[in-house]
Amino acid sequence: MMSVNHTHNPALKSWVESANQPDSDFPIQNLPFGIFRRRGTSEPFRAGIAIGDQILDMQAAHAVSAFDVALDASLSALSLPKLNTFMSLGQGAWSAVREAVSAALAVGSSLQDTLAECLVAQSEAEYDVPAHIGDYTDFYTSINHATNVGKLFRPDNPLLPNYQWIPIGYHGRSSSIAISGHSFHRPNGQLKAPDAEVPVLAPCKRLDYELEVGIYIGTESPLGHPVKLADAEQHVFGLCMFNDWSARDIQAWEYQPLGPFLSKSFASTVSPWIVTMEALAPFRQSWTRPAEDPQPLPYLDSHDHRNTGAVNMHLEVLIQTAKMRADGVSPERLALSNFNQSYWTIAQMVTHHTVNGCNLKPGDFFGSGTQSGISRDSVGALIEATVGGREPITLSNGEQRTFLEDGDTVTLKGWCQNDSAVRIGFGEAAATVLPAIDY
């Protein structure tokens, strides 16, 4: 795990004044990476670092020789349209860039006048998925979510026998992962009502969101070589917000015997910014497993991991319906939970993923699975909040939802905060549901 250092100092302030606001997602203690260009231009996409309401254009900073030549390889990689090459350089390179940018953006920096010309307002930018995602694995790490969904189908035995032993996952569709702000059409698929003799092809009627944390792999691991738990986070570049949209009625018909397919592959949404594992160092927590539960096998357990394996990351779901938008009503919170309740950790996901010799590549992506708390207002999907659609939720304007309707915009947000560190945020992952396309 990365250690707390001078870049996390709560007293550190930036000459970019908006970064010093207490509610900013992007103070100088954060410095997340993303891929952007000025909106409406044909400029090439390139890497930027978020600071307050601005973006430090790393290609422009390199062009004016703002940083030491020792960082040239990293800065050249940050001029490319994806972060994969920079990710492949490893923690040493990631930390060196973070340290240099922190010093350059701090109050009193001699580079203020130079770098002020390298800033682009976030309001004037458009974003791309930060990395080329070659492979995407979606996990199922929230025991509360697994239990809530299991109760709908197996009331007497909601958890399958392997859940408490294995970080369960399935291989997802990387090509349909899109950046926040997009819209997507309601998917068509085979639906089979419980009382129907045959299925029909029709638009999904039970469209759902899933509140997840996205995990970007940085450095590769060789094929045939498992990654040990103690080394797992060395391969992790950082985290983002992730919405794995789900067609529950398509899923119910197709998922046995091989799991999700068309119910998941039509759309997924990521937030633009990747918050590095180093930025998260002040928000690490102990990870525990209830004493009455099966304890992880030795390859998934250690004293150090139990001390610092969890991340105290607040997670929020908001909805804005088409009517709310037309009436000028702001998005409304549906749920608030925390990633520290995850039954399986980031390191355990990486370790189990590779224990059979499966290799990792820079830009590989993991979804944490839907993150749910215990209470109804902390669950990360409508299938839980409405008990399978049987108990609709009522919004403040009187509208009701069992599942999502056309025109609904769902926004996921995340942030970390505690009494000894400056709050940092993840930005947002938002997308809007469009009507299905006639088949």
Residue-range domain boundaries for the chain: 6-126, 136-434
Beta pairing, strands 207-208 & 268-270: unpaired
Name the helix (H) or strand (E) containing 103: helix 91-105
Q: How far apart are CA 167 and CA 312, in angstroms?
A: 20
Q: What was the pLDDT predicted at 1?
A: 77
Q: What was the pLDDT predicted at 336?
A: 98
> What's the pTM?
0.98
Distances (CA, A) of 263 to 205, 255, 370: 12, 9, 15
Classified as helix, coil or strand, 389 is coil
CB neighbourhood size of 375 (10 A)? 11
Q: How far apart are CA 58 and CA 36, in angstroms?
A: 11
- For 6-126, CATH number out of 2.30.30.230, 3.40.250.10, 3.30.300.30, 1.40.20.10 equals 2.30.30.230
- Fold classification of 136-434 is Fumarylacetoacetate hydrolase; domain 2 (3.90.850)
- How many Å is the maximal CA-CA distance in the chain? 74
Q: What was the pLDDT predicted at 439?
A: 84
Q: How far apart are CA 268 and CA 270, in angstroms?
A: 7
Q: What was the pLDDT predicted at 252?
A: 94
Classified as helix, coil or strand, 222 is coil
What are the DSSP calls for 176-199, one per residue? GEEETTEEEEPPEEEE--TT-SS-
Rounded to 5 degrees, φ, ψ at 54 are -115, 170
Going residue by residue through the chain, which has 439 residues, state the pLDDT in tens, using 9 for 90 and above.
789 999 999 999 999 999 999 999 999 999 999 999 999 999 999 999 999 999 999 999 999 999 999 999 999 999 999 999 999 999 999 999 999 999 999 999 999 999 999 999 999 999 999 999 999 999 999 999 999 999 998 888 899 999 999 999 999 999 999 999 999 999 999 999 989 999 999 999 999 999 999 999 999 999 999 999 999 999 999 999 999 999 999 999 999 899 999 999 999 999 999 999 999 999 999 999 999 999 999 999 999 999 999 999 999 999 999 999 999 999 999 999 999 999 999 999 999 999 999 999 999 999 999 999 999 999 999 999 999 999 999 999 999 999 999 999 999 999 999 999 999 999 999 999 999 999 8
Q: What was the pLDDT predicted at 153?
A: 86
> In sequence order, which residues have a C-beta less than 8 Å from that of residue 256 and are 6 or more positions away?
none
Q: How far apart are CA 19 and CA 50, in angstroms?
A: 9
> In sequence order, which residues have a C-beta less than 8 Å from that of residue 123 and are 6 or more positions away?
53
Q: What was the pLDDT predicted at 296?
A: 98
My answer on whether omega of the bond before 257 falls inside 30° of 0, hence cis, is yes
| Annotation marks residue 352 as catalytic | no
Catalytic residue (one of 8, 62, 145, 305): 145
